[in-house]
Amino acid sequence: MSTELSFWKRFKRTLNQFFAKLLIRSKIIKEARYSCTELNDMLATNFPQNIHLPLPGSEGQLVLLDAELSMPLAQEQLHIQLYCSFSVRVANHDIYRAHLLISGTVTPYYVAEEKALRLKNMQLSELRLVKDDYAFIDSTTELATLFMPKPFKYLLLSTVNTTLSLLKGLVSAELLNYLTLYSSGSKQKVLDFHQADIKRLILEEVEQEDWCYPLDETDFEEQLFAELGQQVVVENGFLVFKFHLD
């Protein structure tokens, strides 16, 4: 019985494909449209992504946790909002961490040879600090004690006005200059310092063509487009997969 059902399922699928291809080739069906909800489900497979941020004498890490797409009417680009975490470690110790919201636009395009959807021409317009319990910045005293011998560490912890000038000769001048950024205790000031590099690294990630959605040829609609599709564009709030260009 199960073999018979399996046969009829395959037969039904083959029949559906035959008529769908016939309608496409006769130009009765010219395109397929995807909503924001469908696109966000497709995009979710690309996350999380880790990006290393080079820093003097320390380790920076940006993690792209999630993304949400929208398609405003009368626009030909996807609007994207990235939800990220950013952290900095010195001497195996977290000295900064924060969640970020990054907004921008990007253009989708289809690569027929790869049967894949890719992104290009990304532009980032806003990088915003999320004020939540994850956000953290180390104090000047804690930073100074990271590099001190233990006998001095406990003494410094009991001192009210500990400055990073105590680290002269203990760490490189480049690292010391970087750590002075934290003396204000401002999470936003640290983020502003790194903002250009964070945006640059995200753009490089996209330009390296790491962001790719291969069409699922086990899915009925995606298999049809993989075989007969020509172009992908944003139109009237939808991502449109075009089977014909005329």
Q: What is the pLDDT of residue 144?
A: 63
Distance CA 15, CA 137 (A): 62
Cα separation, 116 vs 38, whole angstroms: 16
Per-residue model confidence as pLDDT tens digits over 43-75: 788 789 899 998 877 889 999 999 999 998 888
User: DSSP secondary structure string, 18-36?
Assistant: HHHHHHHHTTS--EEEE-H
Query: Residues of 142-164 as b/e, b for ≥16 C-beta within 10 angstroms?
Result: ebbbbbbeeeeeeeeeeeeebeb
C-alpha 233/C-alpha 55 separation (Å) is: 39
Give the model's pLDDT for residue 117. Answer: 83
Domains of the chain: 1-32+215-246 (no CATH), 35-138+199-214 (3.15.10.40), 140-184 (no CATH)
- Model pLDDT, residue 1: 47
Average the pLDDT over each of 37-41, 79-83, 167-171, 179-183 and give the range with the smallest value.
167-171
Q: What is the pLDDT of residue 34?
A: 83
The answer to whether the CB of 114 falls within 8 A of the CB of 214 is: yes
DSSP 52: E
Please state the rounded mean pLDDT for residues 173-189. Answer: 81
User: For 134-168, how does the pLDDT look when each residue is reduced to its tens digit (9 = 90+)?
Assistant: 888 877 666 666 655 555 444 444 443 445 555 56
Instruction: Measure the CA–CA gap between 99 and 130, rounded to whole angstroms.
Output: 5
| CA–CA distance, 243 with 223 (Å, rounded to integer) | 12
Order of strands across the sheet with 31-34?
31-34, 238-242, 231-235
Q: Which tens digits make up the pLDDT trace of 186-227?
A: 889 999 999 999 999 988 887 775 577 788 777 777 777 777
Averaging pLDDT over each range in 139-143, 181-185, 237-241, which range is the top one? 237-241
Q: Which residue has the tokens 């009829």?
A: 8
What is the residue-averaged pLDDT of the chain?
A: 77
pTM: 0.74
Share of the chain above pLDDT 70, in %: 72
Q: What is the mean pLDDT of residues 112-141?
A: 85
Residues 6+ apart with CB under 8 A from 21: 224, 227, 228
